[in-house]
Chains A and B, each alone.
Chain A
Amino acid sequence: MSPLVPTTNQLRRVGKPIVFLAMLVPAVWLVWNWWLAFQYQPNGLGFNPQEASNRFTGDWALRFLLLSLAVTPFSTLVGSAKPVLFRRMIGLYAFFYVCLHITSYVWLDMLFDWMELWADVMKRIYITIGFAAFLLLVPVAVTSTKGWVKRLGARRWQRLHKAVYVIGLLAVVHFIMMRKGFQIEPLVYASILAVLLAFRWRKLMPARWLARA
């Protein structure tokens, strides 16, 4: 093996902490800039910091969600199982940024106005869809540990974790619906998701459909 390719052990001991810290950077930036904003200091959140932070956290949640979906195809492509070492961490980071996204909206934007928030979830379809994606993501995140794989059995665990494809679709629809007019950016995310789903269309189809074909 080429000396340039790290061993599984190196990836575990060095690679993982590096990736962990790298994915924490956007969150640190956000918290730091909100802290500056509350101190009335110059900050990067701009003139509508609530809007900026809702969008920032949403963007990163979606990016990490798509990145987690890209791990398996990438692993197949390079013919090595090593990238899969990072899959759970990336997925949990997606969940973490979703939590920040909701915190930003519920606390900083809506100031815990529960009546108004409930009305939003019920009446605004794009928020309903985003909320549904979050609810689906909770059990997936909770059962991400090895213990849960054992408790559920590999087959049931895998079936549960297929929910991530639905979550990806809901998240992209949430993003497209939130923008005004015909905008390119959400469609870029939608295309990436489409490519990632195309990679595993065989796996996602129920077996009997494939048998018939």
Chain B
Amino acid sequence: MLIKHKKGWQETENSVTDESVYINRRTVMAGAAALGAAAVVPSALAQRDRVLAPLAARPTGYNSNESLTPEAAVTQYNNYYEFGTGKGDPFQNAWQLQPKPWSIVVDGLVDKAGTYALEDLIDFNALEDRIYRLRCVEAWSMVVPWIGVSLASVLKKIEPQSGAKYVRFETLADRAQMPGLRWPVLDWPYTEGLRLDEAMNDLTLLAVGLYGKEIPNQNGAPVRLVVPWKYGFKSIKSIVRITLTDTQPDTSWNISAPREYGFYSNVNPDVDHPRWSQKRERRIGEFGRRETLKFNGYGEMVADLYAGMDLRANY
């Protein structure tokens, strides 16, 4: 007999909002907004859009039964400053990105350094469906059905050496493809980092798909990180380089405003951003705000990583 043990971060079946209520009160509003936005998009843009191939993935236990954020919102309301700082800019401009073919430089403290084709790092026959909450540092959130593989599975392939303690990631920085690079909003290229044990945690995902298809350019094609217990900016997009290091890597937002964005940046309602409260968040499609959960509700799987650490000092 199959006995299903529910983890703390999984929602119970009966906590799910009844579909009719949900459709009437939430989706319609967001869906309507999507229609409105779609109506103003010039048809020329649609022609330049990539055709996103469907991706086969196997279901996993990572499937919180929360209402998914509508696909239109997930793909048209983005922060990806390489394509502009407006929320709609990435959707408008990201067609200029060429995600195929894609290669990733692997270097630093690894035994299998080199330049890999994306398909050699990610096993497209082992893709998993994973539904995660995404909490942006700007106090809004989404529920996103990603497709990808655990970062751990990729790290095992490249064989970190015993001295490796951190993983550094780098986003593409090509002016020809990314109009936002003209402005010095951040010190390009965008870089992010994780401690190796954070990187090896099973929750940490390398996503190549979204909503059953290849990941759209504006969401970080062809491969991005997803670290659901940290603020969204940690989940770096369009990765071109993975480096294993023995020292904590510099990260873009930390360099830009060290007081506001720490290296850890775990979702934490008890530690405010200096300019706004992190206690609550707006789930995109909902009118009011809901309480923000510590570690974005994934504490059961990740709190141990920070045992004994002062999360106020290590924000």
Contacts and interface: CB of A to CB of B under 8 A. Distances in A.
B256 A43 contact: no
A44 B36 contact: yes
Interface stretch (A79-87, A91-99, A132-140, A175-183): A175-183
Contact of B183 (A119, A123, A184): A184
A46 B277 contact: no
B39 A48 contact: no
Interface stretch (A34-42, A60-68, A144-152, A204-212): A34-42
A50 interface: yes
Contacts of B280: 116
A184 B184 CA distance: 9
Nearest to B28: A40
Contact of A46 (B37, B185, B272): B37
Interface in A167-202: 177-185
Interface in B3-57: 28-30, 32-37, 39-40
Interface in B215-265: 253, 256-257
Interface in A105-164: 111, 116, 119-120, 123-126
Contacts of B72: 47
Given A41-B32, A45-B33, A125 B275 contact: yes
Interface stretch (B150-158, B169-177, B282-290): B282-290
B185 A182 contact: yes
Contacts of B285: 47
Interface residues of B, number: 40
Task: Name, among A116, A180, A181, A185, the residue most crowded by chain B CB atoms within 10 Å (CB to CB).
Answer: A180
B96 interface: no
Number of chain A interface residues as a range: 20 to 34
B33 A47 contact: yes
A120 B280 CA distance: 13
A183 B276 contact: no
Given A111-B288, A120-B277, A177-B275, A48 B36 contact: no
Contacts of A181: 81, 85, 185-186, 253, 256-257
A183 B30 CA distance: 28
A124 B272 CA distance: 10
A28 to B, nearest CB: 17
B303 to A, nearest CB: 27
B36 A50 contact: no
A51 B282 CA distance: 10
Given A40-B28, A177-B275, 14 more contacts: A37-B32, A40-B29, A46-B87, A47-B33, A47-B72, A47-B76, A47-B284, A48-B140, A124-B275, A180-B85, A180-B138, A181-B186, A181-B257, A183-B85
8 contacts: A40-B29, A44-B40, A47-B34, A51-B87, A124-B274, A180-B138, A180-B257, A181-B185
